[in-house]
């Protein structure tokens, strides 16, 4: 029966996008808009190893509309000699409040394969995972991808003080997964587009956090109303992995180039 819910949910989502006039009338949002596309070059040390992208559109479902956001990560170039990755994350987000109604993961990493869909029954405080069934959640839980758009829309517009934290609850890999990041400072980051004033966030160090030091993960978000990641640095066993913004389309606000 529960699988039937998944199939019905997909079938009622038409493939065509609604017109720009309709989009403008239903997506009052100062941080992002449908048609936005962000592309990142991923490097392992000095070697380009992949590309990542994020897109957002609006699709109708019956009489309602949802944001449809998609993130893709693939290995390219020399990195394909060591690993082959093609990961896709998707989220269908309630336009009015920014919370997800459905998420999906399609992971292809070397010989490993994983596909899952999760439906959010927020009023009943649970999710239904195609792979593992029912899980109870707080009604403010997000998936990882929708969490990114949630903070851009609802949380990043405030004036942060040093050490201020953002706490989110996500459902990821069949369990609740807390996401906590801390504001450090504003920095001007060099990019291919020029210098961009950015807010630097690092992970809050806790027992459940996979990062052991603040420097293990750094994310610089543009402080310009768009709040897009301009630069991400993460330490790993193979060295520092760096993702740099190399292309953007249809931002809600002008990129804060200085």
DSSP 211: -
What residues does each domain of the chain span? 32-249
Fold of 32-249: outer membrane lipoprotein receptor (LolB), chain A (2.50.20)
Render pLDDT for 113-166 as a digit per residue (tens, 0 to 9): 999 999 999 999 999 999 999 999 999 999 999 999 999 999 999 999 999 999
Partners of 20 in beta bridges: none
Is pLDDT of 95 > 70?
A: yes
Better pLDDT: 112 or 205:
112
What CA–CA distance (Å, rounded) separates 158 from 129? 34
For residue 76, the model assigns a pLDDT of: 86
**pLDDT confidence bin for 254, thresholds 50/70/90:** very high
pLDDT greater than 70 at residue 54: yes
20 pLDDT band, cuts 50/70/90, is very low
Predicted local distance difference test score (pLDDT) of residue 164: 94
Q: How confident is the model at residue 24 (pLDDT cuts 50, 70, 90)?
A: very low
Comparing 22-31, 39-48, 51-60, 89-98, which segment has the lowest mean pLDDT? 22-31
Residue 101 has pLDDT above 60, yes or no: yes
pLDDT in tens, 179-211: 899 999 999 999 999 999 999 999 886 555 556
Confidence label for 81 from pLDDT (cuts 50, 70 and 90): confident
| Residue that is written with structure tokens 């990041």 in the block | 181
Q: How many CA atoms lie within 13 A of 17 on its CB side?
A: 12
* 74 within 8 A of 80, measured Cβ to Cβ: no
Mean pLDDT score across all residues of the chain: 85
Q: Which pLDDT score, from 0 to 100, does residue 47 have? A: 79
pLDDT band with cut points at 50, 70 and 90 for residue 222: very high
Q: What is the pLDDT of residue 10?
A: 36
Q: Is the pLDDT of residue 236 over 90?
A: no
The pLDDT, as a whole number, for residue 48 is 82
Contacts of 62 (CB under 8 A, 6+ apart): 12
Tell me, what's the pLDDT at 11? 33
34-57 mean pLDDT: 91
The pLDDT of residue 215 is 77
Beta partners for residue 37, in sequence order: 55, 249
Q: What pLDDT shows up at residue 27?
A: 52
Distance CA 147, CA 211 (A): 19
């Amino acid at each position: 029966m529960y699988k039937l819910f998944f199939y019905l949910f997909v079938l009622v989502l038409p493939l065509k996008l609604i017109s720009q006039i309709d989009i403008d009338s239903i997506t009052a949002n100062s941080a992002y808009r449908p048609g936005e596309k962000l592309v990142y070059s991923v490097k392992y040390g000095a070697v380009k190893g992949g590309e990542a992208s994020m897109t957002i559109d609006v699709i109708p479902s019956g009489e309602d509309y949802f944001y449809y956001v998609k993130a893709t990560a693939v290995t390219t170039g020399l990195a394909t000699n060591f690993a082959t990755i093609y990961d896709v994350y998707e989220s269908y987000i309630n336009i009015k409040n920014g919370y997800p109604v459905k998420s999906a993961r399609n992971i292809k990493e070397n010989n490993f394969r994983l596909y899952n869909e999760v439906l959010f029954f927020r009023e009943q405080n649970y999710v239904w995972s195609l792979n593992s069934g029912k899980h109870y959640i707080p009604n403010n839980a997000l998936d990882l991808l929708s969490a990114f758009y949630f903070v851009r829309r609802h949380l990043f517009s405030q004036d942060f003080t040093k050490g201020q934290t953002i706490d989110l609850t996500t459902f990821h890999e069949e369990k609740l997964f807390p996401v906590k990041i801390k504001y450090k400072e504003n920095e001007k980051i060099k990019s291919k587009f020029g210098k961009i004033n950015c807010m630097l966030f690092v992970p809050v160090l806790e027992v459940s956090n996979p990062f052991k030091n603040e420097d293990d993960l750094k994310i610089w978000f543009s402080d310009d109303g768009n709040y897009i990641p301009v630069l991400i640095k993460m330490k790993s066993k193979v060295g520092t992995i760096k993702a740099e913004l190399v292309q953007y389309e249809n931002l809600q606000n002008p990129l804060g180039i200085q």
